[in-house]
């Protein structure tokens, strides 16, 4: 397109933008093209929003689950052998390794917890009082929902108070101050079943809640000194639990710990729960690929709208060409028309996705109340609330892909419009 002075106007000028915007409105033959544009806009918006929501929920689920698992459990475990093992010396040496934030003795053993209201199979984690108090994810002010930890580890052999999860407390029908009988397994088999090695009634000193249904329903914390007495004949798993600054970079700490542990067996969190998170990672990548394809399909609707728009505007294109509009100018007009759908659809999708992620708990509760069912059952999904974490890099990738597909989808229809012969077009007008 040339100006009155004969100079060529710059590309993507005001005239091209004005014509492109008007072409997105109602047409002479009806509103068919406009309706297709609206459908394409809605498809891109919903596809982008859904992709952001799904990726945010999957990232939030992984991050929160990893935080809870590594917050409750250690990162490296050194297996202890006989009672003569120099535990204190080993702990002191391991604690001196650069990057190690803590090393503490740990006894773990499965037991049966029984009350008059029921019984449950649980896992006892026995720790020293000071070591347990350092775990804010368990003993923080927000995590203790009943009783007090003041009496934990106090008294002869560590006393008789224990900490239990909130869901386990409800299953056993107990509250702080009530008694729970723990029964160890491993006895000899008889005609009437396995004879328990030992049983003892403990007092529930405090009830904790970490917002993870598995931990809240299966974990009991016991003073280490008491566990050494209670499990003395049952062969409980005795370990040194090690915590490091960066659990994702265990290779920085493991060689030094192995040198101290010598021939003792060792394991770490990547061997225990690492495969689970690798499976989550693969699932997340596959889900991302599938949803990116859905975004691409939604963006391809722009082609349909622009092809129909070119047919509807054949006469207008011919008039523009006879007035001096170049092929490049016509191509840019229709490119802008399609790109506007993609850009506006992408921006709307990002906003919708961000709003949904921000208010996802309120939305879940509203839908649960509407349908009369629990859409996010903590027994299935571990958490009380839907975890969602929106990452800026992920959102940028999704928006970039949507814009790329939108721009690609406009090229062919815009090229066809630019190649239109004005003489042939006006012959049938």
According to the model, what pLDDT value does residue 355 have?
94
Maximum average pLDDT range among 272-276, 315-319, 418-422: 272-276
Average pLDDT over residues 362-380: 78
Q: Is 58 helix (H, G, I), strand (E, B) or coil?
A: helix
pLDDT digits 0-9 by tens, 223-234: 999 988 888 755
| Percentage of the chain modeled with pLDDT above 90 | 21
Q: Confidence class of residue 348 from pLDDT cuts 50, 70 and 90?
A: very high
pLDDT digits 0-9 by tens, 104-147: 899 888 899 999 888 999 999 999 999 899 888 888 888 899 99
According to the model, what pLDDT value does residue 389 have?
87
Q: Which two three-digit tokens encode residue 66?
A: 């990893």
Angle at 54 between CA 48 and CA 369, to 5 degrees: 110
**Residue 381: φ, ψ to 5°:** -100, 5
Check if the beta carbon of residue 359 is closer than 8 Å to that of residue 38: no
Distance CA 301, CA 299 (A): 5
Q: Which two three-digit tokens encode residue 212?
A: 């993870």
Which residues, other chains included, contact 422 with Cβ-Cβ below 8 Å and sequence gap of 6+? 317, 318, 319, 321, 322
Q: Confidence class of residue 31 from pLDDT cuts 50, 70 and 90?
A: low
On the question of pLDDT at 30 being above 50, the answer is no
On the question of pLDDT at 28 being above 60, the answer is no
Check if the beta carbon of residue 345 is closer than 8 Å to that of residue 45: yes
Q: Which two three-digit tokens encode residue 180?
A: 């729970």
Distance CA 320, CA 88 (A): 88
DSSP structure class, residue 230:
H
Distance CA 420, CA 336 (A): 18
pLDDT digits 0-9 by tens, 180-194: 999 887 655 555 555
| CA distances for 148 relative to 65, 207, 416, angstroms | 26, 8, 76
Query: pTM of this prediction?
Result: 0.73
**Residue 122: φ, ψ to 5°:** -135, 170
Lowest-pLDDT range of 27-31, 115-119, 287-291, 366-370: 27-31
pLDDT digits 0-9 by tens, 58-96: 888 888 888 777 778 888 999 886 656 678 888 889 989
Q: Confidence class of residue 351 from pLDDT cuts 50, 70 and 90?
A: very high
Distance CA 34, CA 26 (A): 6
According to the model, what pLDDT value does residue 6 have?
47
Average pLDDT over residues 259-279: 83
Check if the beta carbon of residue 27 is closer than 8 Å to that of residue 311: no
Tell me the longest C-alpha to C-alpha distance in the chain: 108
Q: What's the mean per-residue pLDDT of the chain?
A: 82
Distance CA 273, CA 245 (A): 18
């Amino acid at each position: 397109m040339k100006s009155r002075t004969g100079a060529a106007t710059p590309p993507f000028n005001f005239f091209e933008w004005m014509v492109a915007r008007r072409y997105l409105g109602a047409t002479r033959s009806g509103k068919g093209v406009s309706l297709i544009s609206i459908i394409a806009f809605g498809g891109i918006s919903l596809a982008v929003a859904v992709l952001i929501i799904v990726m945010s929920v999957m990232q939030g689920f992984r991050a929160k689950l990893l935080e809870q698992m590594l917050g409750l459990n250690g990162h490296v475990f050194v297996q202890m052998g006989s009672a003569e093992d120099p535990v204190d010396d080993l702990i002191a040496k391991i604690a001196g390794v650069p990057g190690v934030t803590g090393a503490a003795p740990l006894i773990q053993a499965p037991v049966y917890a029984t009350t008059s209201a029921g019984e449950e199979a649980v896992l006892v984690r026995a720790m020293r009082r000071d070591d347990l108090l350092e775990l804010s994810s368990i003993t923080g002010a927000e995590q203790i929902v009943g009783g007090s930890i003041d009496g934990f580890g106090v008294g002869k052999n560590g006393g008789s108070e224990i900490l239990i999860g909130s869901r386990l407390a409800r299953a056993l029908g107990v509250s702080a101050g009530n008694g729970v009988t723990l029964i160890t397994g491993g006895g000899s088999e008889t005609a009437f079943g396995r004879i328990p090695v030992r049983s003892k009634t403990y007092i529930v000193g405090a009830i904790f809640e970490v917002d993870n249904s598995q931990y809240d329903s299966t974990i009991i914390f016991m003073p280490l000194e008491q566990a050494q007495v209670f499990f003395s004949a049952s062969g409980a798993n005795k370990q040194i639990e090690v915590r490091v600054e960066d659990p994702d970079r265990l290779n920085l700490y493991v060689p030094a710990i192995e040198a101290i542990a010598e021939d003792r067996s060792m394991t770490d969190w990547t061997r225990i729960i690492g495969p689970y998170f690798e499976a989550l990672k693969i699932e997340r990548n596959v889900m991302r690929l599938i949803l990116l394809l859905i975004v691409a399909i939604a963006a391809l609707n722009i082609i349909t709208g622009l092809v129909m728009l070119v047919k509807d505007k054949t006469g207008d294109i011919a008039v523009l060409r006879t007035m001096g509009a170049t092929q490049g100018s016509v191509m840019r007009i229709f490119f802008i028309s399609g790109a506007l759908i993609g850009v506006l659809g992408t921006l709307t999708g990002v906003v919708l996705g961000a709003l949904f992620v921000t208010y996802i708990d309120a939305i879940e509760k509203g839908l649960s109340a509407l349908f009369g069912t629990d859409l996010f059952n903590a027994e299935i999904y571990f958490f009380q609330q839907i975890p969602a974490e929106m990452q800026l890099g992920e959102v940028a990738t999704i928006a970039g892909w949507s814009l790329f597909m939108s721009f690609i989808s406009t090229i062919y229809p815009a090229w066809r419009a630019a190649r239109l012969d004005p003489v042939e077009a006006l012959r049938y007008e």
